[in-house]
Amino acid sequence: MCRFGIDEAGKGPVLGPMIAACVCVPDESVLPEGIDDSKRLTPAKRGRLSEALLGDEAIGIGIAAVSPDRIDTPETDMNSLTVAAHAEAASEVVEPGMTGICDAGDVDAGRFVHRVGQRLPEGVSLSGEHGADEHHAIVGAASVVAKVERDRRVAALEAAYGEVGSGYPSDPTTREFLAEYVAENGELPECARASWKTSADALAAVEQGTLAEF
């Protein structure tokens, strides 16, 4: 019976989407060697592993993207969006009778698993835990696919806007990009999550600068 793992990348960045991935295998022995939590792998190794996973016809892979616009919707929150992303990625490859495990995206792992499981096909068995991408190769594989896809989309942003950094609020290059873009255009780029404090700070800085001119 096929087994699957689910994980996501990009919950915290101020730029770009959050990506969830589901990896489904007939047997975990088909997974390439070296799978681990994507954060513990170099970009080059993540890329090689993702390519191997995507290129193996025995492995089913589902990917879901949550756009900045969707993240900024007032009626939702990141926990709910993470639940939805896990379920959307899984729905592309998971069928009744399968069993799987996800990396719990909530402080209450049981609650997170229950919410994701409610959205999966009837007859699917799902478990989950914090740090599942470190302890279960099938979840680590999903972590790798999600992270590489997220990085690919950030690279596309750089092609469109110039250097944007990692997209995380702690990255000085990302903060500088936002500040300069807002100063020049008077608004945030479409790739920014407007509901993030980093975005609000960039807008406020320009507004204060404008007021100081009067």
Least confident of 8-17, 33-42, 69-78, 92-101: 33-42
Residue 199's H or E segment, with its range, is: helix 197-212
pLDDT, tens digit, for every residue of 159-185?
999 999 999 999 999 999 999 999 999
Is 176 marked as a binding-site residue? no
Q: Which pLDDT value is given to residue 214? A: 42
Cα 145 from Cα 212, distance rounded (Å)? 47
Is 7 marked as a binding-site residue? yes
Burial class (CB in 10 A: 0-12, 13-18, 19+), 33: exposed
Least confident of 40-49, 111-120, 121-130, 198-207: 198-207
* pLDDT confidence tier of residue 206, bands split at 50, 70 and 90: confident
% residues pLDDT > 90 (the chain): 91
DSSP-derived 3-state class of residue 24: strand
DSSP-derived 3-state class of residue 9: strand
**What is the pTM for the complete model shown?**
0.93
Average pLDDT across the chain, whole number: 94
Residues contacting 2, CB < 8 A, separation 6+: 24, 25, 26, 60, 95, 98
Q: Which pLDDT value is given to residue 80? A: 96
3-state secondary structure string across 155-196: HHHHHHHCCCCCCCCCCHHHHHHHHHHHHHHCCCCCCECCCC
Is 151 marked as a binding-site residue? no
Q: Which pLDDT value is given to residue 209? A: 55
Question: Please, what is the Cα angle at 144 between 143 and 147, to 5 degrees?
Answer: 85
Q: Which domains does the chain have, with CATH numbers?
A: 3-157 (3.30.420.10), 159-206 (1.10.10.460)
pLDDT, tens digit, for every residue of 69-79?
999 999 999 99
